[in-house]
Amino acid sequence: MADRAELPPSLVRNPELDQWLTIDAEATVTLRTGKVELGQGILTALTLILADELGVEPVRVRVAVTRTGVAPNELVTAGSMSIEQSGAALRQAGAWARRLLLAQAATVLDADVATLDIADGIISAPGGNQTVSIWELQGGRDFGTTIDELAPERSPTEHRWVGRGMLRVDLEPKLRGAGVFLQDLELTGLCHARVIRPPGPNHRLARFDRSRIEREPGLLGVVVDGSFLAVLAESEYDAIRIAGRASAAARWHDAERLPEVADLSAYLVANESAAFPLREGVPVEAEVPPLTWPLGARRVVAEYSRPYLMHASLAPSAAVALLNLDGHLTVWSHSQGIELLRGCLARALRMDTDKISVVHTAGAGCYGHNGADDVALDAALCARALPGRPVMLQWTRQQEHQWEPYGPAAHVRMEAALDERGRICGWSHDVWGFTHMGRPMPGGDGLNLLAAGHLAEPIPRAVPRPALRAEVGIHRNAWPIYALHAPRVVKRFVADSPLRTSSLRALGAHANVFAIESFMDELALAAGHDPVEFRMNHLDDRRARAVLERVVALAGGLDCPSPGTGTGTGTCTYTKPSRGRGVAVARYKNQASYAAVVVQVAVDPDSATISAEQVWIAADAGQVIDPDGLVNQLEGGAVQSLSWTLKEAVEFGRDGVTSTDWDSYPILRFSEVPEVMTVLIDRPEEPSLGAGEATQGPTAAALGNAVFAATGLRLRDLPMTPERLRRTAAGPGDA
Amino acid sequence: MRVIVNGVSHELDVDRNVPLLHVLRDALGLKSVKLGCGLEQCGACKVLVDGAPEFSCRRTVGEFEGMSLVTLEGFANETLHPIQQALLDHNAAQCGYCLSGILIAARALFDANPRPSRREIQIALDDHLCRCGAQPRILNAFCELSANG
What domains are there in chain A, each with its CATH number? 4-174 (3.30.365.10), 182-253+313-403 (3.30.365.10), 264-309+412-493 (no CATH), 509-730 (3.30.365.10)
Cα–Cα distance between A552 and A267 in angstroms, integer?
A: 38
DSSP class per residue in A70-137: TS-----S-TT-HIIIIIHHHHHHHHHHHHHHHHHHHHHHT--GGG--EETTEEE-TTSS-EEEHHHH
Measured between beta carbons, the chain B residues lying within 8 angstroms of A41 are 91, 94
Rounded (10°) CA dihedral B65, B8, B88, B118 = -40
Estimate to the nearest angstrom the gap between the alpha carbon of A384 and the chain centroid. Answer: 32
**Share above pLDDT 90 across residues of chain A, in percent, rounded to a whole number:** 93
- CATH number for the domain spanning B35: value is 3.10.20.30
Estimate to the nearest angstrom the gap between the alpha carbon of B76 and the chain centroid. Answer: 13
Residue A720's region, left for phi above 0, alpha for psi from -120 to 50, else beta, is: beta
Give the DSSP H or E segment for A430: strand A424-433
Q: Looking at A395-399, A440-444, A584-588, A679-683, which range is the least confident one?
A: A440-444
| Average pLDDT score, chain B | 97
Of the residues B74, B90, B109, the one at which a domain ends: B74
Tell which of A42, A170, A237, A631 to mutate to test the B interface (max B CBs under 10 Å): A237
A735: confidence class by pLDDT, cuts 50, 70, 90: very low
B138: confidence class by pLDDT, cuts 50, 70, 90: very high
Contact across the interface for B125 and A179, Cβ inside 8 Å: no
Cα–Cα distance between A93 and A87 in angstroms, integer?
A: 10
Nearest chain B residue (CA) to A236: B22
DSSP class per residue in A222-246: EEEETTEEEEEESSHHHHHHHHHHH
* Cβ of residue A664 closer than 8 Å to a chain B Cβ: no
The answer to whether B19 and B56 have CB atoms below 8 angstroms apart is yes
* Domain count within chain B: 2
How many CB atoms neighbour CB B26 within 10 A?
19
Measured between CB atoms, which of A181, A312, A396 is closest to B131?
A312
In terms of Cβ atoms closer than 10 Å to its own Cβ (0-12, 13-18, 19+), residue A15 is middle
A11: confidence class by pLDDT, cuts 50, 70, 90: very high
* Cβ of residue A645 closer than 8 Å to a chain B Cβ: no
Measured between beta carbons, the chain A residues lying within 8 angstroms of B97 are 181, 314-315, 363-365
CB-based contacts of B140, cutoff 8 Å, min separation 6: B90, B92
Q: Region A284-289: what's the mean pLDDT?
A: 96
The answer to whether B10 and B65 have CB atoms below 8 angstroms apart is no
Same domain, B29 and B66: yes
The answer to whether A515 and A719 have CB atoms below 8 angstroms apart is no
Stretch 177-206 of chain A: residues touching chain B, C-beta under 8 Å: 177-181, 183-184, 186
Contact across the interface for A396 and B94, Cβ inside 8 Å: no
Of the residues B40, B74, B108, the one at which a domain ends: B74
The answer to whether A451 and A378 have CB atoms below 8 angstroms apart is yes
Q: What DSSP designation does B81 have?
A: P
Same domain, B115 and B141: yes
DSSP class per residue in A33-45: -SS--SSS-HHHH
Same domain, B65 and B127: no
SS3 B107: helix
- The alpha helices in B61-149, defined as continuous H runs, are 82-89, 99-112, 118-124, 135-148
Same domain, B59 and B88: no
Q: What DSSP designation does A152 have?
A: P
A445: confidence class by pLDDT, cuts 50, 70, 90: confident
Residue A717 has pLDDT above 90, yes or no: yes
- CATH number for the domain spanning B101: value is 1.10.150.120
Same domain, B90 and B34: no
pLDDT at A128: 72
| Average pLDDT score, chain A | 95
SS3 A600: strand
Same domain, B128 and B90: yes
Same domain, B92 and B115: yes
Same domain, B101 and B42: no
Q: Region A694-717: what's the mean pLDDT?
A: 97
Same domain, B70 and B6: yes
Same domain, B18 and B53: yes
Of the residues B30, B47, B74, the one at which a domain ends: B74
Q: What DSSP designation does A390 have?
A: -
Q: What DSSP designation does A501 have?
A: B
Interface size A-B, in CB pairs within 8 Å, comes to 173
Cα–Cα distance between A511 and A434 in angstroms, integer?
A: 12
Contact across the interface for B133 and A640, Cβ inside 8 Å: yes
A1: confidence class by pLDDT, cuts 50, 70, 90: very low
Nearest chain A residue (CA) to B43: A314
Residue A150 has pLDDT above 90, yes or no: yes
Cα–Cα distance between B24 and B99 in angstroms, integer?
A: 17
In Å, how far is A679's CA from the nearest CA of chain B? 15
SS3 B148: helix
Same domain, B7 and B67: yes
B78: confidence class by pLDDT, cuts 50, 70, 90: confident
Measured between beta carbons, the chain A residues lying within 8 angstroms of B39 are 397, 661-663
How far CA A631 is from CA of A391, A595, A624, A699, in Å, comes to 38, 11, 10, 15
A4: confidence class by pLDDT, cuts 50, 70, 90: low
Same domain, B130 and B101: yes
The answer to whether B94 and B134 have CB atoms below 8 angstroms apart is yes
Whole-angstrom distance between the N-terminal and C-terminal Cα of chain B? 39
Cα–Cα distance between A90 and A148 in angstroms, integer?
A: 14
pLDDT at B77: 79
Strands A274-279 and A282-283: antiparallel
Measured on CA atoms in the order A452, A458, A459, A463, is the torsion positive or negative? positive
Which residue type sits at B111?
D
Measured between beta carbons, the chain A residues lying within 8 angstroms of B125 are 670
Contact across the interface for A364 and B32, Cβ inside 8 Å: no
pLDDT at A565: 45
Residue A122 has pLDDT above 90, yes or no: yes
Domain span at residue B58? 2-74
